[in-house]
A and B are shown apart, each in its own frame.
Chain A
Amino acid sequence: MSKAMISIKNLTTYYGEKRILSSVNLEITEGERMVILGASGCGKTTMLRHLMGLVKPRDGSIFVDGTDICGLSEDGLDQVRLKMGVLFQSAALFNSMTVGDNVAMPLREHTSLNEKVIQIMTRMKLEQVGLAGFENLRPGELSGGMKKRAGLARAMAMDPRILLFDEPSAGLDPIVADGIDNLILKISKAFKTTMVVVTHDLKSAFKIADRITLLYKGEILISGSPEELKKNPDARIRNFLDGRAAEEEIDTTAYLERLLS
């Protein structure tokens, strides 16, 4: 069980001139639920996009199931992506298709199963996320929480070994968000999928996580179990966990330079 499913080595990325991630090192073992926690703009979504191979890093490497994805061509990346399922922040369902077709799409595109089998598998996936009977609705007719569930059903369509979640509780009320958290736990228990959850929601982070990695301005402050995090005395960690905005240090010279430039 202790095999590293994802390992990130010295990942450094820039957006234009601005450094987003600096020398991030992280190992995620098989079957683990890893929560990447951080304030908006700390680079956590960028990190997730790197894991999918949507962007290439300036420096460093990412191993997914033993393959370095940073040097891969688009075709090679597609092979790795088949092992992953992704739930996007907005669920990213295809609005032109029904919910059922959304879930069936990866199966239709990547397998040669016959339509009858695909229909049954689609219903099974929707059943697993609690959306049985919704396959003929359009994404526009679903509520926020249901969209996320449908997005999760689509992410699970190919039975991936890794599931990535981008802010699963964003835009949902606390009760619906808690339902999604329960669903994530249920799926983790049932399928032993490796999960990487990016979030800024403390409550859901502590509920889901085996381990939590706290990102702060593109650097990892701490990576450990929820208990380790709670015990850590570091002021920046305490500030984040208590929901306090960090006191900004005022650099007077820089301030004057900005005003006069």
Chain B
Amino acid sequence: MKTLTDLAGRTGNLTFSWLALINRFSRFAADSFRHTFVAPLLGKRRPSAGETFRQMVVVGVDSSPIVITIAMFIGMILAMQTAYQLKKYGIVNLVGDLVAVSITRELGPLITAIIIAGRIGASYAAEIGTMKVAEELDALRSMALNPVRYLVSPRLLAMLVMLPCLTVFANLTGIFGGFIISVFNLGLSPVLYYNHVIEALVLKDIATGLMKSLSFAGIIVLVGCYQGFTVENGAEGVGRNTTNSVVASIFLIILADCFFTALFYFAF
């Protein structure tokens, strides 16, 4: 009997703590959007342009080498794996179609988001968490500067612009990776590959991919910053929340990906 009530109690507690977490996170997200998009329209202070630009450099320019490199390898891998199967039916010339569509619709946005969640989302959690430990967040508030407007808004704006840009790069280099395998290994002519890619792609493939990447951008920034703001217990807390930010971002990215893919597949 005791174990049974224990179980019920524990399930209840767990449910409540998850609900509380969702509640706090949604309020944080609403607050971030209000400070970034609504407050400037109402004539209140807008996020600093200089800081936004600096964050865009960190997110976009500094991350592009790694994103480009990984996307190219993904394109090559995809070409080899599809060729392996297409060979059985003698339609290796369709490699370009498959690579282009899967990269733009799915892998380009997803791989980019996962790289950036690890590279940038984690650094947001660590940076803001360290600031909290060092009383810097209190210092901001005591100087009449809102930490959400000062820290989250520039990062949110930067990410919303730069993640789709990086995704475009990833799409291009991913398709180029497929090109390398097709031309040098499968013996397809460059023109044939190019024509197949152009024929297979429709605007919707690229647009849905970019729409996904916008939602991923929001997830990465909000989760990373939220984990930073909720750091407790000093340095140990910073480490734990940094890890949490990567795990939670990737989980939510995959969840959002599944949702949007289903939406585009069934509804449009």
Contact = CB atoms under 8 A, between A and B. Distances in A.
B135 A90 contact: yes
B49 interface: no
B141 A52 contact: yes
B142 A81 contact: yes
A223 B136 CA distance: 31
Interface string B116-147: 00000000000100110011101101111110
Nearest to B141: A54
Contacts of A89: 135
Contacts of A154: 143
B74 to A, nearest CB: 34
Interface string A76-89: 01110110101011
Contact of B141 (A81, A94, A105, A106): A81
Interface size band for B: 10 to 19
Interface range for A: 20 to 34
- Main SS at interface, chain B: helix
Nearest to A94: B136
Interface in B139-169: 139, 141-146
A2 to B, nearest CB: 27
Contacts of A94: 131, 136, 139
B144 A88 contact: no
A92 B144 contact: no
A78 B147 CA distance: 12
A86 B142 contact: yes
B125 to A, nearest CB: 15
Residue picked from B130, B131, B139, B145, most chain A C-beta under 10 Å: B139
Contacts of A49: 138
Contact of B135 (A79, A82, A92): A92
Nearest to B150: A109
A110 interface: yes
A232 interface: no
A105 B134 contact: no
Nearest to B146: A74
A92 B145 contact: no
Contacts of B143: 81, 86, 105-106, 109, 154
A88 B138 contact: yes
22 contacts: A49-B138, A52-B138, A52-B141, A54-B141, A54-B142, A74-B146, A78-B144, A81-B141, A82-B144, A84-B142, A86-B143, A88-B138, A90-B134, A92-B134, A94-B131, A94-B136, A94-B139, A96-B127, A106-B143, A109-B143, A110-B144, A154-B143
Given A54-B141, A81-B143, A92-B136, 14 more contacts: A52-B138, A52-B141, A52-B142, A54-B142, A74-B146, A81-B141, A84-B142, A88-B135, A88-B138, A90-B134, A92-B139, A93-B136, A95-B136, A109-B143
- 10 smallest beta-carbon distances between A and B, as pairs: A92-B139, A78-B144, A92-B135, A81-B144, A86-B142, A88-B135, A52-B142, A82-B144, A106-B143, A92-B136
Interface of A: 49, 52, 54, 74, 77-79, 81-82, 84, 86, 88-90, 92-96, 105-106, 109-110, 154
